[in-house]
Amino acid sequence: MSILTLENLTKTFGGLMAVDHVSFSVKEGEIFGLIGPNGSGKTTIFNLINHYYTVTEGKIFFQGIDITHKHTHEIAQLGIGRTFQKVKPLKRLTVEDNVMAGAFARETTFAGARAVAQDVLKFCHLDDVKNMKAGSLPIGGRKRLEIAKALATRPKLILLDETAAGLNPGELDEAIDIIKKIRDELGITVLIVEHIMKVIMTLSDRIHAIAHGATIAEGTPAEVAKNPLVIESYLGSDYNVENYLNA
Amino acid sequence: MEKEKTKILEISKTEYIIFLGAAVLPFLFFNSFYIQGLLIFIMMWVMLGNSWNLLAGYTGQVSFGHAAYFGIGAYAAALPYFHYKISPWWGLLYGGLAAVILGYLLGILVFKLRGPYFALGTLATGEILRLVFGEEEWLTNGHNGILYTTTWVSKYPYYFIALALAILSILSVKMVMKSKAGFYFLSIREDEDAAAALGINTKKYKNISMAISTFWAGTAGAFYMIYMGFIDPEVVFALHNISIITILIGIIGGVGTIWGPAIGALVMVFVQELFRSAIFGLAPHWVSGLHALIFGLLVITVILYLPGGILGDWDLIANKFKFSKRMRSSS
């Protein structure tokens, strides 16, 4: 059963076609990868799903409900959590308060919100820095805080926008582990945008590739990686994919 | 589940002592109407400072037009008296409400703006109201203003009313900031987009913050009318004397702290009076013209050395003193 469906999603900025009739469907319980070169419209699609941008044409369905014209906060309350590529920590609040702000989406009491925050902090390996100001976290922590904030809203679907970018190899493995656990242990469907092949190829059940705002391929990681269009437009013609698939 | 009980309102011992001390204060100056008058103004500024601080300091919506709500509160008290001889005292009830309604209506416009644009938008709304209330003489008696013979000569009743309102304004902000709404205000201040992604209805919570804020600004305005017995648009909608001073009180006292506006009001009224009276008549007369300049210097100093305000950077100040003490003892 599909949890999120995009139908002919289109977004234009003036004369620029940022997203060009993109359609795909994310099944419940899968990790779905969205890839494409820089500027191909991945983040724009996220911003359309969350209604930071208004859709020019097409429709977005979440669990059968048309959310195309719902407000950002309503979409979050329906159960779509998201992280930002350019991280947005609530800088002058503590890490715990950041997560609690998210937890209040479903909790009404402080005790309840704090309990949810506690679980999420532990899950994201942030409980030992929970009293730090979010603005003073290093980038690895900030990326995990993004995930923690989104998880605290108890989403059914989480949109991860390059949560592994800028991490060192150790942090990268930690991030992959967390993302895997989000689906396996929490049962949350994951829609992930990522440039790092190691992350996207090892995690995704299916991948949707776009270039210049339009769909070029969809399938399993192996299928997509072998697709000549993808290799040409995204990876470059001299890029050896096999190394990454076997890694 | 109920192991962590969050009380809706906690008043510490220190705060009780401050409230009691404030209640005793006018009796210490029983022979000076002048100082009692200043104390009343301090309380009025505490209300305005709190009002601004909730919206700007805690919710991040920096208003440059709080005179609009102060003025509308004052006129809400004055106009029924002017036209129908209804006592302006009722203004304490509906002055705040009038400001809330105005705040909601203006919010539809200015909340579409963010950051510096919001500040400019609010600045404009304050100025527009000043001009409108000056021109529409059939309604407001224009620049002639509205005159009302004050109820009492004694300052004591006014002081205690102002004190009660000031305390209520402090407690109301304290209570809101202890609630989920307060949590949301802070989230909106830190990042409005991130807040929306967390399921926070930013528009709604900005309006709630605006409503509480404007209520106290309007109540302060109504009180001003009752106490002074005279208002005109240039006074109550003043950009410099109301809007800007309100901001300075917030900045000097400590933006986003419960007691910051109270401390800011104390400092500002003192400094203002010091220079307005040319250091109580001791300095040459031209010194009284300097107060705007001194405010500017004060703000620059605070922003440079105490960006969190007196209360926000209290640790910094305390450390400075400790440090200089140690220096003295070692030398």
pLDDT at A148: 96
Q: B196 and A72: CB-CB below 8 Å?
A: yes
Selected residue of A110, A114, A151, A161 to mutate for chain B interface (largest B Cβ count, 10 A): A110
Q: A110 and B1: CB-CB below 8 Å?
A: no
Residues 6+ apart with CB under 8 A from B14: none
Q: Which among A240, A233, A217 is positioned nearest to A40, based on CA atoms? A: A233
Domain map of chain A by residue range?
2-87+155-246
Query: What is the chain A residue with the closest CA to B198?
Result: A102
Residue B27 forms part of a structural domain: no
Query: What is the chain A residue with the closest CA to B6?
Result: A110
Q: B197 and A82: CB-CB below 8 Å?
A: yes
DSSP assignment letter at B215:
H
Q: A111 and B196: CB-CB below 8 Å?
A: no
Q: Which residues pair with A59 in a beta bridge?
A: A7
Residue type for position A238: D
Q: B193 and A88: CB-CB below 8 Å?
A: yes
Instruction: State how many domains chain B has.
Output: 1
| Predicted confidence (pLDDT) per residue in A81-96, tens digit | 999 999 999 999 999 9
What are the angstrom distances between the C-alpha of B226 and each of A139, B75, B162?
Answer: 56, 11, 11
Q: How far B99 CA sits from the closest chain A CA (Å)?
A: 28
What are the angstrom distances between the C-alpha of B214 and each of A132, A247, B50, B267?
Answer: 34, 61, 10, 23
Contacts of residue B191 in chain A, CB cutoff 8 Å?
A: 88-91
Residue B296 forms part of a structural domain: no
Residue B19 forms part of a structural domain: no
pLDDT at B274: 86
Give the ipTM.
0.89
Selected residue of A43, A77, A78, A88 to mutate for chain B interface (largest B Cβ count, 10 A): A88
Question: Whole-model pTM?
Answer: 0.90
Contacts of residue A110 in chain B, CB cutoff 8 Å?
A: 4, 6, 180
Nearest Cβ partner for B198 among A76, A109, A110: A76
pLDDT at B4: 47
Residue B317 forms part of a structural domain: no
Q: B196 and A100: CB-CB below 8 Å?
A: no
Q: DSSP alpha helices (H): ranges in B136-201?
A: 137-140, 156-177, 180-190, 192-197
Q: B201 and A73: CB-CB below 8 Å?
A: yes
Please report, in tens digits, the pLDDT of each residue of chain B (331 residues total).
Answer: 344 455 677 888 999 999 999 999 999 998 899 999 999 999 999 999 999 999 999 999 999 999 999 999 999 999 999 999 999 999 999 999 999 999 999 999 999 999 999 999 999 999 999 999 999 999 999 999 999 999 999 999 999 999 999 999 999 999 999 999 999 999 999 999 999 999 999 999 999 999 999 999 999 999 999 999 999 999 999 998 899 999 999 999 999 999 999 999 999 999 888 888 877 777 787 877 777 788 888 888 888 888 888 888 888 888 877 766 555 555 4
d(CA A18, CA A2): 25
Q: Which CATH number fits domain A2-87+155-246: 3.40.50.300, 3.40.720.10, 3.30.830.10, 3.40.50.1980?
A: 3.40.50.300
What residues in chain A have per-residue pLDDT under 50? none
Residue B315 forms part of a structural domain: no
Q: B187 and A101: CB-CB below 8 Å?
A: yes
For B154, half-sphere exposure in the C-beta direction (CA atoms, 13 angstrom radius) is 7
B230-231 and B146-147 strand pairing:
antiparallel
What is the torsional sign of CA B84, B88, B94, B97?
Answer: positive
Nearest Cβ partner for B196 among A73, A90, A150: A73
Q: What angle do CA A202, A39, A24 make, to 5 degrees?
A: 55
Q: Which residues pair with A82 in a beta bridge?
A: A159
d(CA B228, CA B216): 18
Query: What is the chain A residue with the closest CA to B190?
Result: A90
Q: Which among A128, A111, A131, A123 is positioned nearest to A158, based on CA atoms? A: A123
Query: What is the chain B residue with the closest CA to A96?
Result: B183
Domain that holds residue B101: 33-244
Contacts of residue B184 in chain A, CB cutoff 8 Å?
A: 101, 104
Contacts of residue A105 in chain B, CB cutoff 8 Å?
A: 198-200
pLDDT at B297: 87
Q: Which among B37, B22, B77 is positioned nearest to B226, based on CA atoms? A: B77
C-alpha gyration radius of chain A: 18
Contacts of residue B198 in chain A, CB cutoff 8 Å?
A: 73, 76, 101-102, 104-105, 149-150, 152-153
Q: How far B40 CA sits from the closest chain A CA (Å)?
A: 35
Q: B1 and A88: CB-CB below 8 Å?
A: no
Query: What is the CB neighbour count within 10 angstroms for residue B78?
Result: 29
A16-27 and A2-13 strand pairing:
antiparallel
Tokens of B85: 């001889």
CB pairs under 8 A between A and B: 83
Q: B199 and A50: CB-CB below 8 Å?
A: no
Selected residue of A46, A71, A72 to mutate for chain B interface (largest B Cβ count, 10 A): A72
Helix (H) or strand (E) holding A80: strand A80-82
pLDDT at B283: 78
Q: What angle do CA A123, A128, A130 make, to 5 degrees?
A: 85
Say whether residue A154 is in contact with chain B using an 8 A CB cutoff. Answer: no
Nearest Cβ partner for A52 among B3, B187, B193: B193
Query: What is the chain B residue with the closest CA to A100?
Result: B183
pLDDT at B206: 97
Residue B300 forms part of a structural domain: no
Selected residue of A87, A90, A158 to mutate for chain B interface (largest B Cβ count, 10 A): A90
| Coil, strand or helix at B201 | coil
Q: Which among B185, B176, B199, B4 is positioned nearest to A112, based on CA atoms? A: B4
Query: What is the CB neighbour count within 10 angstroms for residue A208?
Result: 25
Selected residue of B198, B200, B257 to mutate for chain A interface (largest A Cβ count, 10 A): B198
